[in-house]
C-alpha cells in the first residue's frame, strides 16, 4: 500500500512540475548574419535580396519601399497570457529603381507600446431590441395598399 502511495505522489509531483514548464513559441524568420552580410547596399536588387534572404514577412504600405523580416519568440505558462521574450526585425529598404539603400536590425527594446483608443462613432437612429426587430412590422399595411409607404422615409405611393 505504501509503494502505491509513493508512486501516486511521485506522479503527481512530476505532473505538477511539468505544468510549470513554459511553452515556447517561435514565429517568423530572421536570416542569419552571414546571409544578411551578403546583401550589398547599392548593388543588390529586390530579386537578388529575395534569392539571398527569402520572401519577406511584410512590406511597407506607404513611404519608401521596405521589406521586413520579422521573428517573435514568446513563453506561456499554463493558461496565462504569453510574454514576448524576443523580437527581431530586419528591414531592407529599397530606392525607387529597386536597389538596396539600407539594411537595419531592430530588437524588442526598439519597440514602443501604443495604447489603443476604444472609441465608437455614434450612429444616428434608434436602437431596436431583437423583439422589436422581429415584430416591428406586424400590424403595418401590406405593400401596395393605399397609404402604405413605398420606400424608406417616403410616405404615400410616390405620385
Read off the pLDDT of each residue in 106-122 and give the average, rounded to a whole number.
78
Q: Which pLDDT band, with edges at 50, 70 and 90, does 140 fall under?
A: low
Burial 82-119 (b: 16+ CB within 10 A, else e): eeeeebbbbbbbbeeeebbeebeeeeeeeeeeeeeeee
28 with 57: CB under 8 angstroms?
yes
- Percent of the chain with pLDDT strictly greater than 90: 19
* Full domain range(s) for residue 25: 21-110
Inside any domain, residue 12: no
Whether residue 48 has pLDDT greater than 60: yes
Read off the pLDDT of each residue in 66-80 and give the average, rounded to a whole number.
87
pLDDT at residue 94, rounded to an integer = 93
66 with 93: CB under 8 angstroms?
yes
How many domains does the structure of the chain reveal?
A: 1
Inside any domain, residue 139: no
Contacts of residue 87, defined as CB under 8 A and 6 or more positions apart, other chains included, come to: 70, 71, 72, 73, 107, 108, 111
Inside any domain, residue 130: no
Amino acid at each position: 500500500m505504501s509503494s502505491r502511495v509513493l508512486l501516486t505522489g511521485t506522479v503527481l509531483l512530476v505532473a505538477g512540475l511539468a505544468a510549470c514548464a513554459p511553452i515556447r513559441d517561435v514565429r517568423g524568420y530572421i536570416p542569419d548574419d552571414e546571409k544578411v552580410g551578403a546583401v550589398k547596399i547599392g548593388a543588390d536588387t529586390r530579386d537578388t535580396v529575395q534569392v539571398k534572404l527569402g520572401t519577406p514577412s511584410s512590406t511597407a504600405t506607404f513611404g519608401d519601399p521596405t521589406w521586413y523580416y520579422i521573428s517573435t519568440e514568446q513563453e506561456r505558462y499554463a493558461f496565462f497570457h504569453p510574454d514576448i521574450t524576443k523580437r527581431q526585425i530586419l528591414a531592407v529598404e529599397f530606392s525607387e529603381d529597386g536597389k538596396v539603400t539600407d539594411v537595419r536590425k531592430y530588437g524588442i527594446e526598439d519597440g514602443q507600446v501604443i495604447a489603443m483608443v476604444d472609441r465608437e462613432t455614434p450612429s444616428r437612429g434608434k436602437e431596436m431590441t431583437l423583439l422589436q426587430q422581429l415584430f416591428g412590422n406586424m400590424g403595418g399595411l401590406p405593400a401596395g395598399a393605399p397609404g402604405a409607404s413605398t420606400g424608406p422615409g417616403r410616405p404615400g405611393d410616390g405620385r
